[in-house]
Amino acid sequence: MSFQAPKGTFDWMPPRSELALAVRDAMSAPVRRAGYGYVETPTFEDTALFARGVGESTDIVSKEMYTFEDKGGRSITLRPEGTASTVRAVLQHGLQNGPLPAKVWYSGSFFRYERAQKGRYRHFSQVGAEALGVEDPALDAELIQLAAEGFASLGLTGVRLLLNSLGCAACRPAYRAALQDFLRALDLDDATRARVELNPLRVLDDKRPEVRAQLGGAPLVTDHLCEACKGYHEEVRSLLTDAGVAFADDPRLVRGLDYYTRTTFEFVHDGLGSQSAVGGGGRYDGLSEMIGGPPLPGVGWAIGVDRTVLALEAEGLAAPRSSGGVQVYGVALGDEARRLLFSLLIELRRAGVTADMAFGGKGLKGAMKGADRSGATYAVIIGERDLAAGAAQVKDLASGEQAAVPLAEIVTTLKERLTQ
């Protein structure tokens, strides 16, 4: 084979791919129950959308975006994150003119030219949820609770929630000035010094040990919050406590994107090493204006599918699953039996039972090996004698017990057994 997946990417393959599907389902189910509607945006957008929305000073825009010129001479970028695209779509299609908040969720692939390592890929998958048009601490708390519910439904116990407030346009300038004064006195490289002047909060997000070692005495944003932001943050905290969502205050938590205001949060898992974040988000009340839209407050999150799968594996929750994950496996001996079994499997699938069969004219021994490998609970075996008797052999693949069941009762019998 001469071709392989590009560096920094990987293929989801059975049985592990079933975990990725499980994560998408688990994280989307709570938001769908809360009235969030699905949106799907293009994989690529006008480069200016991300330059303006994500922020010129971010590593994403300055170093990591996959940007190219298309055949029409337009600068196009593979989306590095989902919020800017979602807000653009909401504005373009006028959802802000309908009932507010406009609640939407998405799932898809994203692209960043990262330094490839476990848990940090150049092509990755996320599930995200956004609520736009209302500034309300209850909305912030709702989204956080829904994400926590998704993680819990997967059986994860090692996910921790970190919470902070980044203030607003009224109180952040004073904090920004104090932080700049502190950072200017540190031993930093030229590129980081330039970032101090452009967006000093981004320096707090620097993961390099030589930088982090100097940040211990940095001023805290929580010490500079205005009364309105303090009250807003306390309400978010109170609502989460009432909802039974455990969290830890982290006054040094910042997000890697420029558009965040007030509530910011991150879900981390200690079993993943340096790439511990499995998701996060926050409020972004100025993003709409940044991309040319009207004032439209918003809050949202994105959960990393790839990292959540790693968290499941770290907790031993990633037991191997069979490719296809069928419940019933059919074995037919002879052409007439195969035609009958083919129709029977269609009936089972329509009844909600996952089912497969042996293909290629295999003998009984080879077909039963396929049944064992399929991970099915039951095998349905039909031979010439069974046809003559109008029945099929139903075998419990775990216990080995086998009994004849009339063909007319196969679907009902299997559904009953599988729900016991």
Name the burial class of residue 152, with classes exposed (0-12), middle (13-18) and buried (19+) by CB atoms within 10 angstroms of its CB: middle
- Is 227 annotated in a binding site? The answer is no
Beta carbons within 8 Å of 225's beta carbon, 6+ residues apart: 165, 167, 171, 233
b/e 245-265 (16+ beta carbons within 10 angstroms → b): bebeebeebbbbbbbbbbbbb
- Is 82 annotated in a binding site? The answer is yes
**122 and 114 Cβ atoms separated by less than 8 Å:** yes
- Distance of alpha carbon 144 from its chain centroid, rounded? 14
- Is 255 annotated in a binding site? The answer is yes
Beta bridge partners of 117: 120
Hey, what are 201's tokens? Answer: 């909060």
End-to-end distance of the chain based on CA atoms, in angstroms?
46
What is residue 212's three-state secondary structure? helix
- Is 237 annotated in a binding site? The answer is no
- Is 202 annotated in a binding site? The answer is no
Range 322-325 contact pairs with CB under 8 angstroms and sequence separation of 24 or more = 322/14, 322/15, 322/373, 322/374, 322/375, 322/376, 323/14, 323/15, 323/374, 324/14, 324/354, 324/356, 324/374, 325/15, 325/18, 325/354, 325/375
Relative orientation angle of helices 305-314 and 17-33, to the nearest 10 degrees: 110
Task: Give binding residues for L-histidine as ranges.
Answer: 81-83, 112, 126, 130, 255, 259-260
Binding residue ranges: 81-83, 112, 126, 130, 255, 259-260
